[in-house]
Structure 1
Amino acid sequence: MEDKRIAEAVLEDTALSISGLRTGIRTKDGILYPVDGVSLTIPKGKIVGLVGESGCGKSMMANSIMNLLPRNGYVEKGSILFKGMDLAVSPDHEKRKLYGDRITLIFQDPMTSLNPVLRVGRQVEEVLRLHKTLSREEAKHQVIEMFRSLGIPEPEKRYNSFPHQLSGGLRQRVMISAAMICRPDVLIADEPTTALDVTIEAQILRLMKRLQREENTAVLLITHDLGVVAEVCDLVYVMYGGKIVESAPVRELFHNPVHPYTLGLLGSLPSRNQGRRLKSIPGTVPTLNQMPEGCRFAPRCESVRACCKANAPEMMRVGENHYAACWANGKEGTHG
């Protein structure tokens, strides 16, 4: 009975829960798995970072959640739970009611995501009118107010602008407006500041933090930049080769990193290595059709053992709310 109450309390505090998710891509060489047994939890009102190098499966993870997989892609197994609904198996017509309304996505590149021949205000307005019963004037008013709240100057004028007439920072704010206009429960941001200079990046990150605080929106922030994670995230999941290799509260991860891959990522941060030569992780991320046996990081790991090459480690507890998939912690850790 006590376990049931604890489970209900955890569910009540969770915006999105993913368990054992495996996404397959059918190719002429067989089925490849860019997301392979991933589990993560996004608590309500928190910003969760999903970090890793390009090719680790982060964007495919977002596409799996948002039902945006390519034609040859599919969810093979696992669950994506939102308000009691499993999005991994729910019919498309049920999911369409949620996407863009309760669960939204900010894409990497606003210039390729916005329609170049449609005024940006109308594009955001279309999102709102698709999910809410509003007149054209009511929708336009809400869009302009959203532009104003996101710091877009002269919002009435910008409403009638085309994407090419806006700077990169303003285009990204328009994308955030489209994602936030329906006040979603979950916002997925896939590398939202990649193409922006550092000043605009800082503004966008502060903006996301404010929206999370004021709207109580849960955010999954996908990035390769641990500096960004340190600035805005509450929890962090580190992804490598389609798997989660470490997870922890952000302070714990930065002060007590455990997995060799996490240590390698942190070793390349200038802010953590002032006065010392930056380190790089040897080798490259394995391709999907050439995944190594055992631990997928083993070919690049400086602490590799024989057991690492033979068997894949499971996530093990290494501290309070801190888990890592590394054989070096096998004796002390317990499975999580």
Structure 2
Amino acid sequence: MNINPQTNHTNNHSLQEYESISYKLDSLTSDISISSQYLEDKELFTFLSNKNEILIYDNSNNLKNVIPLPNKGISTYLISGDTIFLFDYNNNSIIIQNTRLNERIEIPVKKEILYYPAPPHGASKLIYKNNNLIFFGNISGEYNDENKLNRMICGKINLKNNDVDYYLSYPDIYFKYNWGGGLYRWIYSTYNNIDDMLIFSFPIDHYIYKSNLKFEPYERFYAGSQKIDKIPPLKKRKKYVNTEAATQYFTENYSYSDIKYDKFNNVYYRIAEMKTKYEGIPKWIKEISVIILDNELRKIGETYIGRCHPCNNFTMHVSQKGLHIQKESTDEDLMLFTIYKLMKNEK
């Protein structure tokens, strides 16, 4: 049983609703997106649309540019200057596209370990640094022969020679029980490039884990929600496969998900997801609470948000205004966000 230790912490910060903003969509574009990126230096919000395009909006919420993509099946992307890195889910490869020179190359991701960390998804952003592309992902399933050497969560591609190396694995508790092999196996991460801190949030774990781009062994920090008492494992053998049963198990139990670094306030936000009633695969949404951690990864507050958009883990981002959480819109032609500002509680 995975019981929340509820360790002592301060509760002197909270999130306060600041304003709502919306991005206008055309009649064929949905507000459902599986990957996004906020470009802080240019104050641009970008997201992957259902039309296989990256839409780019300026800080006045106006559509500035549309980038058509070469392949269908893109699971995530990263814009870096004139270069766009794309992960092609169907071909298990990285596509590098230069928008200025109109050049494109494709690098296959080699499966050097048994359970390699692919596909990456939009809740763990790609990182480009020192001519290396770093990605985070997971293969579905629970396996009797999995271990920390053959099931890793991070890959690094050397773009000079296309070599792929794998690093880091799940916390110990993942290897002790069956967690359904699906949504409880997703990888959520954020990178603090000021302090070279790579922070991981695992869906079943009340703790978060710190490493860096040298992929040094984890340090563990308590970051549990005051609203979560325990997360029980699935009472089935590891090789048990039933997608709907695994989804129902995930839906009807608590979980953790995305984590974001806020460089403007030097804090971190971790999402806790509430359990809810399962009503079929497309019909459930977990309400959320946001855990606030300081720059030393100490819990300093928590704010209950409630219902948000089902794609919020892929579109949530931080700007100078605050934490942007995607909400459901009654207007199909709008992508809607509520911005929350970090506040210090009055004594």
Q: Same fold (TM over 0.5)?
A: no
Higher strand content, 1 or 2: 2
Structure number with bigger Rg: 1
Higher helix content, 1 or 2: 1
Q: What TM-score do the two structures reach when normalised by structure 2?
A: 0.29
